Amino acid sequence: MPVKQEPNIYEELRERLRSARHVFALTGAGVSAESGVPTFRGGGDTTVWKGMPFDVISSAGMLARDLPAVWEWFDYRRGVLGHCQPNAAHTTLARWQDSFPRFTLVTQNVDGLHAAAGSRDVLELHGNAWRARCLGCGWREDVRHLDADERPPVCRACGEAMRPDVVLFGEMLPAGVFEEAAMRASECDLCFVVGTSAIVYPAAALPAEARRAGAYLVEVNPEPTPLSEICDMTIRGLAGEILPRLEF
């Protein structure tokens, strides 16, 4: 699929947006990177925290071995996130939720920037770094409401230890969230894939699900991805620059 960059491509997309009944958007790390959020691509010998690769400190195995160390890492990450603000891509998607009969926003990001921009009912495939979850009863709470000196935090519902409410390496997605996202993808007529390399499954299966259902598939990404070949339209560039141009 050739990349389309003609000036009238934006008007074509605006027309599709004007007539859409259900718009589905999947966002990935590229959207958050525009706000200064590190992408943290783990693996190999990349050292990111006290001599440990990202995929070690952010793993289910580390959670079982050293929960306080996992909390120390995520406290550090939240310290970074606390300086990041939503960008124009986040705010445009937040406005879209009131522009269509149905709108679904699914994200692979854990930074909470979509909610900070005003988006509601975001399907967070990989959880949220600003939440804690009880290892015992599953109770969830905003980390900012917990004692910062208590690590790991203690659940106020049952007294068990709490963990960061994010999907770690070696863990499954939260029950039900992917199934809900897949169902909505199968019901949309216009699908945007924004700032994601489309290689991490099962999230990468969502655009294919939309395409199988007959949706028009649009990719917004600075670089080609494995998804590019099946898209109806691919726009190369930063989401924060492209999405505002689609306002209608």
The verdict on 138 and 239 lying in the same domain is no
Q: How many domains does the chain have?
A: 2
The verdict on 237 and 191 lying in the same domain is yes
Final residue in a domain of this structure, among 138, 166, 194: 166
The verdict on 148 and 231 lying in the same domain is no
- The Cα–Cα gap between 103 and 226 comes to 25
pLDDT at 4 over 60: no
The verdict on 45 and 15 lying in the same domain is no
The verdict on 53 and 162 lying in the same domain is yes
The verdict on 22 and 97 lying in the same domain is yes
pTM equals 0.92
The verdict on 211 and 234 lying in the same domain is yes
Contact in structure between 216 and 7 (CB atoms under 8 Å): no
What pLDDT, in 10s, does the model give residues 25-57? 999 999 999 999 987 654 444 557 788 888 899
CATH code of 14's domain: 3.40.50.1220
What pLDDT, in 10s, does the model give residues 58-105? 999 999 999 999 999 999 999 999 999 999 999 999 999 999 999 999
> In which band, very low, low, confident or very high, does the pLDDT at 212 lie, cut at 50, 70 and 90?
very high
What 3-state class would DSSP assign to 14? Answer: helix
Final residue in a domain of this structure, among 146, 166, 186: 166
**Predicted pLDDT of residue 134:** 98
The verdict on 186 and 200 lying in the same domain is yes
> In which band, very low, low, confident or very high, does the pLDDT at 248 lie, cut at 50, 70 and 90?
confident
The alpha carbon torsion through 42, 48, 52, 56 (nearest 10 deg) reads -30
The verdict on 180 and 232 lying in the same domain is yes
**Predicted pLDDT of residue 43:** 41
pLDDT at 238 over 60: yes
Active-site residue identified among 22, 90, 114, 126: 126
The verdict on 63 and 179 lying in the same domain is no
The verdict on 72 and 188 lying in the same domain is no
The β-bridge relationship of strands 190-194 and 162-166 is unpaired
Give the DSSP H/E element, type plus range, for residue 163. strand 162-166
Residue 126 among the catalytic residues: yes
Q: What is the mean pLDDT of residues 133-147?
A: 96
State residue 114 phi and psi, 5-degree precision.
-65, -45
- The Cα–Cα gap between 33 and 198 comes to 16
Within the chain, where are the H helices? 9-19, 29-33, 54-57, 60-65, 67-81, 88-96, 113-116, 177-185, 205-212, 239-242
> In which band, very low, low, confident or very high, does the pLDDT at 1 lie, cut at 50, 70 and 90?
very low
- The Cα–Cα gap between 69 and 35 comes to 26
The verdict on 184 and 63 lying in the same domain is no
Q: Domain range holding 54?
A: 41-83+128-166
**Predicted pLDDT of residue 6:** 55
* Cβ neighbourhood burial of 8 (10 Å; 0-12, 13-18, 19+): exposed
Final residue in a domain of this structure, among 166, 191, 223: 166
